[in-house]
């Protein structure tokens, strides 16, 4: 802890907070690093505990640190500061760690770009492409989601962030899936919100876990209704009814659904939002049409959408009409729709091939939808090292979990079904207890 004392300097709350920010930005306080207790730091620096507490509160509000109970105050896993790019994979490793879609299954953009009308746009014009919103409304309403109030945002996380900022304030508790998408967990921390983990199974959040979180005072629920990252969980009709019954007892809770995979998820869309007073559904095109199309359509109750649009108008104003027009053209293109159908089938085939192979090798795994398969393990670091030695790069679960147990995530989007057995055999060998390996 002596090293942590040396990183934190200053005689005021703002100076203390700035010194921690600089230490985090420069890598002297890495993600997960512990900070001294309020009393320890106050005594070491000759300050009042109130001054140190104010500094820590400011750092929490900005998402740089989090209070973790008996583990004390620690730097968050991904503090909202610029960071160096991740190290490239070691040569020779087969990548089943990256969560990207298969580029071969994404629609080609050049033909539609050539034919896309591109009139010169200026300020004070309508911010939305009318054809895009009409197409989005039809898609959403076909899935039982109200499409009356829509806006366009720059991707799924941009939409989630704008909704949370519109409805919550720092210190509010938010129910999140555990394990859940690390981008959402990091975003919640960066907004100064408090994540309350909700355990899940293959059908999504467990009703009893959600009930506990809401009873504890959560003001919002953020979930992925299908293609849940990292587990592949997906709501079904039964679980949707169960969760709606839980939510009925909390009519003021904000429900935010991140439907990031949309039409290539491999399962029908179910939603908890019908009848809610405060809700939003964010449907991104990144997984279906391409990550570089930073666009999502956000549906929600009228006040929430109005707040999002109002705040958006004060910032970058609107999402480029070129992107909006291109997405509308893709959604209207019969060839693109056929390609999306093929992509959905391909992802489902690859996912099922790996699940079947893991089952044959005696490995418990999960993946009802989407592009990922989730495998609980005893030790993450050791499992990753053994798989790397066998030629496979996989993703550890640490960044995705709050209270749930260790696991690894395998992305199947670019995994040939013929590779499934080799990967499953390597996973089985890596997760086998040491006693079984040496017997």
**pLDDT (0 to 100) of residue 439:** 44
Tell me the Ramachandran region of residue 171: left when phi exceeds 0, alpha when psi lies from -120 to 50, beta otherwise.
left
CATH of domain 2-75: 1.10.10.10
Identify the pLDDT of residue 4. 58
On whether the CB atoms of residues 8 and 16 are closer than 8 A, the answer is yes
296 phi and psi angles, rounded to 5 deg? -145, 150
Please state, as a whole number, how many other Cβ atoms lie within 10 Å of the Cβ of residue 436: 9
**Burial letters 103-134, b for 16+ CB under 10 A, else e:** eebbbebeebeeeeeeeeeeeeeebbbeebbe
pLDDT of residue 348: 98
Check: CB of residue 217 under 8 Å from CB of residue 195. no
Rounded to whole angstroms, the Cα distance separating 163 from 193 reads 13
Express each pLDDT in 178-207 by its tens digit.
999 999 999 998 898 999 999 999 999 999
pLDDT of residue 61: 84
Task: Please give the Cα distance from 371 to 181 (Å, whole number).
Answer: 13
CA distance 321 to 331: 15
Tell me the domain boundaries of the chain.
2-75, 94-103+336-438, 108-332
Instruction: For residues 408 and 397, give the distance between their C-alpha atoms in angstroms, rounded to a whole number.
Output: 5
403 exposure class (CB count in 10 Å sphere: 0-12, 13-18, 19+): exposed
Residue 56: enclosing H or E segment and its boundaries?
helix 49-61
**Burial degree of 46 (CB within 10 A; 0-12, 13-18, 19+):** exposed
- The pLDDT value given to residue 83: 64
Q: What is the CATH number of domain 108-332?
A: 3.40.640.10
> Which class is domain 94-103+336-438?
alpha beta
Q: Which residues of the chain have a pLDDT value below 70?
A: 1-5, 68-70, 83-86, 433-439
């Amino acid at each position: 802890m002596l090293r942590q004392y040396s990183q934190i300097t200053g005689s005021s709350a703002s100076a203390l907070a700035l010194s921690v920010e600089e230490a985090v930005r420069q890598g002297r306080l890495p993600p997960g690093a512990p900070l001294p207790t309020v009393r320890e730091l106050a005594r070491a620096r000759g300050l009042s505990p109130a001054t140190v507490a104010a500094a820590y509160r400011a750092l929490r509000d900005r998402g740089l640190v989090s209070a973790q109970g008996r583990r004390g105050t620690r730097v968050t896993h991904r503090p909202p500061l610029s960071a160096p790019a991740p190290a490239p994979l070691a040569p020779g490793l087969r990548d089943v760690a990256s969560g990207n879609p298969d580029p071969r299954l994404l629609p080609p953009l050049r033909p539609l770009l050539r034919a896309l009308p591109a009139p010169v746009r200026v300020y004070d014009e309508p911010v939305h492409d009318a054809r895009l919103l009409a197409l989005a409304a039809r898609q959403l309403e076909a899935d039982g989601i109200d499409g009356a109030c829509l806006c366009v945002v720059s991707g799924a996380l941009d939409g989630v962030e704008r909704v949370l900022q519109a409805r919550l304030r720092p210190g509010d508790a938010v129910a999140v899936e555990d394990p859940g998408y690390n981008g959402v967990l990091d975003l919640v921390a960066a907004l100064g919100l408090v994540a309350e983990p909700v355990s899940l199974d293959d059908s999504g959040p467990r009703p009893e876990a959600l009930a506990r979180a809401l009873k504890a005072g959560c003001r919002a629920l953020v979930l992925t209704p299908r293609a849940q990252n990292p587990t592949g969980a997906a709501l079904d009709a039964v679980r949707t009814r169960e969760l709606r019954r839980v939510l009925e007892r909390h009519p003021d809770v904000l429900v935010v659904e991140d439907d990031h995979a949309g039409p290539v998820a491999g399962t029908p869309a179910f939603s908890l939002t019908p009848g809610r007073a405060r809700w939003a559904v964010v449907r991104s095109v990144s997984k279906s049409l391409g990550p570089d199309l930073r666009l999502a359509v956000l549906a929600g109750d009228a006040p929430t959408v109005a707040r999002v649009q109002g705040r958006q108008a004060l910032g970058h104003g609107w999402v480029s009409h070129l992107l909006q027009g291109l997405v509308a053209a893709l959604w209207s293109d019969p060839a693109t729709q056929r390609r999306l159908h093929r992509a959905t089938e391909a992802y489902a085939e690859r996912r099922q091939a790996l699940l079947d192979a893991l089952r044959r090798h005696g490995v418990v795994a999960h993946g009802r939808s989407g592009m990922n398969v989730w495998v609980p393990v005893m030790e993450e670091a050791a499992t990753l090292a053994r798989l790397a030695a066998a030629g496979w790069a996989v993703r550890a679960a640490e960044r995705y979990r709050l209270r749930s147990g260790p696991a690894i995530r395998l992305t199947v989007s670019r995994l040939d079904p013929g590779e499934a057995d080799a990967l499953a055999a390597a996973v089985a060998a890596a997760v086998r207890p040491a006693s079984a390996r040496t017997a």
